[in-house]
Each structure stands twice: as structure tokens, then as C-alpha cells.
Amino acid sequence: MTRQQAAASQQERSLRAVESPAERLTMVQAINQALKEEMERDEAVLVLGEDVGKDGGVFRVTEGLLDAFGPERVMDTPLAESGIVGFSIGLAAAGFRPVAEIQFMGFLYPALNQLFAHAARMRNRSRGRTNLPMVVRMPYGGGIHPPEHHSESYEALLVNTPGLKVVVPSTPYDAKGLLASAIRDEDPVVFLEPKRIYRAFREEVPSEPYTVPIGKAKVVKSGTDLTIIAYGSMVRQALEAHDALAHDGVSAEVVDLRTLSPVDAGTIIESVTKTGRAVVVHEAPRTGGFGAEIVALINERALLHLKAPVERVAGYDVVFPYALLENHYLPNRERVVAAAKRALEF
Amino acid sequence: MPRKIIHQAVTERLEILDRDGRVDKALLPDLSNDQLLTLYRMMIQMRKLDEKALNLQRQGRMGTYASLRGQEACQAGMALALEPQDWLVPSFREHGIMMLRGIPAHLVYAFWKGDERGDLFPEGVNCLPPSIPVGSQLIHAAGVGMALKLRQAAAVAVGFAGDGASSEGDFHEALNFAGVFQAQTVFLIQNNQWAISVPFKRQTAAESIAQKAHAYGIQGIQVDGNDVLAVYAAAKEAADRARSGGGPTLIEALTYRMENHTTADDAIRYRPAEELQFWRERDPIDRMRKFLVSRKLWNDKKEAALAEEAAAAIEAEVERLEAMPAPSPVEMFETMYAQMPWNLQEQRDEMAKEVGR
């Protein structure tokens, strides 16, 4: 954890009315704790997916759940993504709250028909009678030097699908609170876990259940000269850029979106109205990416406050490269700083 | 012995009632006269529902419609085998059994008219809205069947699909999940021989869909899908087995799509007329009528009375349909989420201004 993040989380903790016992957890541990607590809280919560049982998940996110809750609530499934999501739809339609794991976002595609054609539409198709309180969680994004298909970030597809909610935490604290919210939500939530920072840092996480609301962004750093908007693992690049810019006397505000659908337009617009400049950062390809939506929102609602065009720092419009070249693909501090300077010098 | 047989499979086909109304007494299910008459009445009700929908469509009072003509025995046989607590997970040609399970015909018609309120089923009817992406709903039936098992409910989920669906990956995944988890699910595949213009032979090199059950370690059976007694017998056995924890079943009901795929299709382009004639002679309603007459349970007078009654009931439903006020355009925003997010609120307000509400 950077000094700034520590300060930010310290600030957030001091705002909490009651200080509860806390441990320093990684994001993996925080998510695991959320699953455990929500399963204890509500017997309708089930966990299913490939390797989620005895193995505890390939990233160990579901470790210990099988022992704690048994094979009826923690189900190792056949290796079939469409089946995992479709089976969850049936379970949810009949009153359970399944939390399905897709092992990597790059393997989500066989399940897209189930997500798009059914999960996202069941409430509407049944005119509100049948809702699907289900979560589909999956590690996404690059930075861990894996083989092909293990690094994708296709959140834009999901955000363009009415009926879903899309949540992306960037810290252990938020990951636990947002997952609790997602599991308690009455509608399907896709929960994207930035695997690059699964274990990158620890943070104090209360041992008690708590929620972080879906649909609320967070101003992680206050600033006056420009706004850097990011989510997931890119929040760290944004914070590093913030520090580098501070060194040059630039005061950058950093907004962590936390939820992509429904996006918190209010926080974005308030910040950009104040600073007049913005850089949007994501690791998904640039064209048609979620950054374009943010730029459009700013144009619609804060155009006359802008002092420069909104900059996008994104993955390139190429297939996500194999391990050796991935660092050239992923946005980093330097690219964010360069974009900020273009906006400042416009 | 390095090479030995590890699996041998036998697939059964069940026929009880032939095209002339004769039954195999040894196989006749244990049904009261009232139940036999109920099966017949159900099929007549479905045919009236279907004929009226086609009429309305020709008159421009209905949207594109998928007829179920010829498949009445499949749906009546299953309907009689089910209990109120059981679930339907239908495709788009199951509005016959949906009506029999308590969804009023005017809602069925509303759906086909393009009115989404047709999918708001009465409370207590356990039925998911029809699924149009072919085969994708079968995995939901496996999931619902698993939910019933986890709750230890004496109930079954029935997933419906056609022969075309058996080529989809989700058909495989559904049978596989249901088998692995021993879900309380019955899959009823109405093999009506045609997936729009593509014949069954182009869906699989196997002789039947029923035999595919063996590959998933579940029970499978083929029935004469125009024989309501055979469908009932197989459905009852499968549903009872699933409810009591005996595992899922794949039922293939061999039937025929007597009409076009939908009213937007023209089957004359691809189907031989002799084939239609062959199946017309095997009509599920005609053979049941012959059987009931032979048992002295039915006569022309009763037939006329039932026809009149069924037609009147359908006319009343058409009146209800046409008395429905037009849907409000802003309703499209209302049921997307439990709580409407800000972007939908804004868009709804934009539209409300546009339409003057």
C-alpha cells in the first residue's frame, strides 16, 4: 500500500462511528471474508464454480468455504462457464443467492449468452416477478504474466448490457464491502476482481460485516488542477501519477469509480467541474472502451467547465499480449502523467 | 484383457395408443375416466387456443406467432403428470401447457402480440417466462431442479425444448449438470422434426435424442409424442422419480410441427406435402377421441358441447386481451432493476416528456 492509500484509508476509518476490530488483509483475504460472512448471514447464499471447493479456487479466494459450509453450499461444478451461469440463474429464480465464479474473465465468453440473454433480462421479462439475486465474480485484467486468455478486461461489454450491475473494487476494504452489497443486491451483479492486486498490498479490514454501496465512486485524492478517473488495478497507476505530478507542483484529484454500472456521474462531474481537466484510465482497449462513456458524460454535463479535451489512457486496440510484452500494453504511471501534462499544457 | 465393453445402452420407445385409437392394455396408465377425459379436454383447449391465435394473426390482431398444432399430446400428457408446486421452464412453443398450468390465454396472446405484460404470470404459477434463445433455458431447469433438491421439496422442474435445441451446447451442459448434481429435473424434448427448415437428420447422426441421456448418466426414453397416454406415462414416471430423489430424466417426444415454424415462415418451401399427410393421419386428438368413443366415454354430442365451451372460453379471453389498455411507454424502465438507477430515471423522464406523460 502506498503512503497515500494508507492515509486515505486512515481517513476513511476515522470517519467510521464505531471502531471495530480489524486485520490487515489482502484483497483475496477480504473477498474470502465477505463470502464467509455472507454465507453465515444468509443460508440462501451458495458458492459455485470450477475448483472453488477443495482447491479453494485457483487464487484461493474460496479457501475454507467447503469445510465451513459443506458441499451443498460450496459446489465444484463441471467445467462449463455457460452451465455455471445458467445453473445459477435457475438457483436464483427459485430463491437462492448464488455467487458463481468464472475462473478468468477471458473464459467468460461461453457464458455471455446466459448473462446477456437471461440474467440481465429475467426481472424485466417477467415484469418484475422473477428477479435474480446472483453474483458472477471473476478475476480480470493483466499484470500477472499468464498464458493467453488470462488477462482480459471486457467490462465495456457488460456495462452496455442493461439489467446488469458491474462492480470493480481497487482495495481490500472496498472489495469486502462491495461484495457484501453485491450478494445482498436483488439484481445480478458482475463483480470484477483486479487479480494483479489480489495480493499486492494489505489494508486494515474490519472483522465485522459491512457494506460499501454500489453506485458510489470515491474521491481517493483531493486536488484542484485535474481529475484522474480510474478503477480496478488502474487506481494504483493513477495514485502513482498523482504523486509524480505533485512532485512537479500539480494538484491532481483521483476518482476511483468502484462501480461501472450504474456509474456515479455525480462524483465525476463535480470533480471535473472543479478541476476543468480530466484523464480517464483503464486497461481495456481504447476504442469503445468504458473511457469513451466517461468522456461522453463529461461532454454532456461539464463541457463549458473544460479547459482541455479529456484524455484517455487505455490499453491499445490489440489482442492482449502474452507475458513478455504485457507491460508495454498496460497503462502505467508515465503514460498517465504524459496524458495529464497534455491536458495541462493544452 | 486389454479391450472390453465398459458400457452398453438400451433406449426404449413407449407407445400405448395407436392412430386408430387402440391401446396396449398392459401399458395403459392407471387413470380414471375423468382423467382420460381431462387429457382430451386439455388437447381441445390447446387446439382452440392455437387456431384462434392463427386467426388473429391473419387478421392483423396478433404479432408473429409460433403454432403448437400437432404437439398437444406432448403438453397435455406432461400437464396431467405435474403437481401445483412443480415448475415449468418453457421455450416459445409451450403456451399450451402454460395455459393449462394457470396462465390465462389472454396473457399468452398478449405475449405474442408484443405486449410484455403477457409475461406477468399470476402469483403462485411456478413458470419462468418463455425463452427464445434455443436451448438456453434447459440449464435454468437444471438450476431450478437443484434448488428444489437443496430445499428437499417434493417438486420437479420441467425444461422444454425442441429437436434443434439438442444441437446447442447448453443442452449438453444442462443434462450434464442435472446428472452430476442429480437435480430434480425432467427434460421434455418435443422432437417435431423440423428446426425451421432444417430436418432432424441434420441435427444429429444419432437415431434418437433419448439415447443421448446415456452419455450423461441419466434416464432417457422416447415416446410417441402424438400419444397422450404414452407421454403421460413417461412424464409421470420421470416426475415421480425426480421428486423422490431418483434423478433427472430426458424424455424425447416424437411428434410433428403441423404448421409453419412461425407465421413468418413458409414451410411449403422445404417440406414435402406427403409428410404432412402422414402426420395428419396420426393426429393426437383424433386418436384419443377414437379411444374415448370406443370406451363409451365420448360421443358427438359431447364433442359439440366441448367445442362450443372451448370456443366460448377463448372468445372471452380474446375480449380480455383486446380490452387491455395500451402499455405505457415509460413502463419499459420500470422493471429493469429493483431500484431504478439515475440513468434510467433520467431517460424515463426524457421519454415521459416526449410522450406527454
Same domain assignment for residues B332 and B221: no
Could you please state the CATH topology (level 3) that the domain comprising A218-344 is classified under. Rossmann fold (3.40.50)
CATH assignment at residue B68? 3.40.50.970
Instruction: Report the CATH number of the A23-206 domain.
Output: 3.40.50.970
The stretch A226-236 carries a mean pLDDT of 98
In a domain, B2, yes or no: no
Q: What residues of A are annotated to the active site?
A: 150
In a domain, B6, yes or no: no
Q: What is the pLDDT of residues A182-230, one digit of tens each?
A: 999 999 999 999 999 999 999 999 999 999 999 999 999 999 999 999 9
Amino acid B226 reads N
Please answer yes or no on whether B176 and A129 come within 8 Å at the CB atom.
no
In a domain, B208, yes or no: yes
Distance from CA of A232 to the nearest CA of B (A): 22
Give the containing element (helix H, strand E) for A22.
strand A22-25
Does residue B125 belong to the interface with chain A, where contact is any CB pair within 8 Å? no
DSSP string, B62-101: S-S----TT-HHHHHHHHHH--TT-EEE--TT-HHHHHHT
Query: Model confidence at A21, in pLDDT bands (50, 70, 90)?
Result: confident
Same domain assignment for residues B353 and B233: no
Please answer yes or no on whether B335 and A186 come within 8 Å at the CB atom.
no
Instruction: Return the CA Rg of chain B.
Output: 21
Query: Model confidence at A1, in pLDDT bands (50, 70, 90)?
Result: very low
Task: Report the domain count for chain B.
Answer: 2
Same domain assignment for residues B98 and B173: yes
In a domain, B7, yes or no: no
Same domain assignment for residues B174 and B72: yes
Same domain assignment for residues B259 and B290: yes
Same domain assignment for residues B224 and B160: yes
* Residue-level pLDDT at A19: 57
- B interface test, pick of A125, A264, A293 with most B CB neighbours within 10 Å: A125
Please answer yes or no on whether A78 and B343 come within 8 Å at the CB atom.
no
pLDDT of residue A17 exceeding 90, the answer is no
* Residue-level pLDDT at B59: 97
Does residue A86 belong to the interface with chain B, where contact is any CB pair within 8 Å? yes
Same domain assignment for residues B167 and B271: yes
Does residue B343 belong to the interface with chain A, where contact is any CB pair within 8 Å? yes
Same domain assignment for residues B334 and B247: no
Which own/partner pairs from A302-305 qualify as long-range (CB within 8 Å, at least 24 positions apart)? A302/A269, A302/A272, A302/A273, A305/A272, A305/A273, A305/A276
Same domain assignment for residues B321 and B333: no
Same domain assignment for residues B214 and B337: no
Instruction: For chain A, give the mean pLDDT.
Output: 95
Residue B337 is among the residues annotated as catalytic for this protein: no
Q: What is the pLDDT of residues A34-67, one digit of tens each?
A: 999 999 999 999 999 999 999 999 999 999 999 9
Same domain assignment for residues B126 and B183: yes
* Residue-level pLDDT at A68: 98
Please answer yes or no on whether B142 and A75 come within 8 Å at the CB atom.
no
Spell out, as residue ranges, where chain B has pLDDT lower than 50: none
Q: Do domains A23-206 and A218-344 have the same CATH topology?
A: yes
* Residue-level pLDDT at B162: 98
Residues whose CB falls within 8 Å of the CB of residue A222, separated by 6 or more in sequence, listed in order: A253
Q: ω into residue A309 within 30 of 0, thus cis? A: no
Amino acid A323 reads A
What are the structural domain ranges in chain A?
23-206, 218-344
Angstrom CA distances, A32 to A63, A64, A66, stand at: 7, 9, 12
Does residue A83 belong to the interface with chain B, where contact is any CB pair within 8 Å? yes
* Residue-level pLDDT at A9: 52
Which chain B residues contact residue A110 at CB under 8 A? Answer: 169
Range list of H helices, chain B: 33-58, 72-81, 95-100, 105-113, 138-150, 169-181, 228-243, 273-280, 284-294, 300-323, 342-355
Angstrom CA distances, A291 to A71, A197, A222, A255, stand at: 41, 21, 21, 13
Please answer yes or no on whether A118 and B131 come within 8 Å at the CB atom.
yes
d(CA A301, CA B245): 58
Domain that holds residue B124: 12-326
Query: Model confidence at A14, in pLDDT bands (50, 70, 90)?
Result: very low
